A and B are shown apart, each in its own frame.
Chain A
Amino acid sequence: MTEKLVLAGKEFDSRLIIGTGKFASAQALSDAAQASGAQIATLAVKRVDIKHGRDDIVAPLKDLGITLMPNTSGARDAREAVFAARLSREALGTDWVKVEVHPDQKYLLPDPVETYKACKELAADGFKVFAYCSADPCLCKALEEAGVCAVMPLGAPIGSARGLETLPFLKIIIKESKVPVVVDAGIGAPSDAAKAFELGAAAVMVNTAIAAARDPVAMAAAFNKACAAGREAYEAGLADSVESARATSPMELFLSEAMK
């Protein structure tokens, strides 16, 4: 049994956070959520679509006992992110919010200045803030000092499935952070998630890698296992890596002696 994840004073057995976008239906999402073992899921706040309607995803996630983490995706600056956070608090009655500010639609990279401003204002207003941000150790430190509950540095651009391209910076952030580090965005395979945990990440956030898999339920189960294995490995303490070989068998020279 590994240590529990604690986020904003709440304990969780699972360290996998799932995003709910890109699933074929609410049922597909619900099945994948269950297989993933995730106890936290993100959602977005948008204008209601009277003409076309949308599947209700809040009720099925609540039925699974999943903690909801609304995000501010679509916000182009701090003002919009703060507005989105207040809307989701009003709609869901939760003070949890994942702050995302990405003005650029091509790469969806988070704007550090606006993200910082939004996080500072929302934390001061009593929100439990989870900051999606670039893998920048200085920014993560500033966000921590601004009162966020966790930093969520990206591994690679959202939905890119390119894995932990920011690995050297993630290592520094994990080493220096006093708040939990959730590796978010870009995770493409269960091995990426396992790697993040082996480095000491508190949690990982995965959406596209599960939702866009050929079999999302099976992939969700694979992530569930990889996250658990990665965390177990971290808690077990990885062997040091060194340049030269270190024998695993006794090195007596019986072969060369016998050949004489």
Chain B
Amino acid sequence: MQIMFNQEPVELTAPLSLQDFLSQHGIQAAGTACAVNEEIVPKSQWSDFMLAEGMKLDVFSLVAGG
């Protein structure tokens, strides 16, 4: 199963929740926001949200800026 993660294709071997995907990539919940197909998925739903073929996942955090 393939998804797009921050505009690059990623192959997933088993069904995975959004929370598990983020944990596997070492991404902390604090200071992070996720959108799937350009819709924000609230943190409270990360554990139950299953990633599926073709989904476009974008993960954002706060960085330096003026």
Question: In the bound complex, what is the Cα–Cα distance between A90 and B30 (angstroms)?
Answer: 10
A90 contacts which of B6, B7, B38, B40 (Cβ < 8 Å)? Answer: B40
Q: B59 near A: Cβ within 8 Å?
A: yes
Residue of A nearest to B29 (CB): A91
Number of residues on chain B facing chain A (CB within 8 A):
24
Residue of B nearest to A91 (CB): B33
State whether A91 and B31 are in contact (beta carbons under 8 Å apart), knowing that A47-B6, A47-B59, A50-B25 are contacts in the complex. yes
**Cβ-defined contact, A23 with B40, below 8 A:** no
**Cβ-defined contact, B27 with A48, below 8 A:** yes
Q: B20 near A: Cβ within 8 Å?
A: no
**Cβ-defined contact, B62 with A19, below 8 A:** no
Q: A76 near B: Cβ within 8 Å?
A: no
Question: In the bound complex, what is the Cα–Cα distance between A47 and B56 (angstroms)?
Answer: 13
- Contact residues in A for B34 (Cβ distance below 8 Å): 90
For this complex, 5 residue pairs linking A to B, each with C-beta atoms less than 8 Å apart, are: A44-B63, A45-B33, A47-B7, A57-B64, A70-B62
Top 10 closest pairs, chain A to chain B, by CB? A44-B65, A19-B66, A207-B66, A90-B33, A91-B33, A87-B33, A21-B66, A20-B64, A43-B62, A47-B6
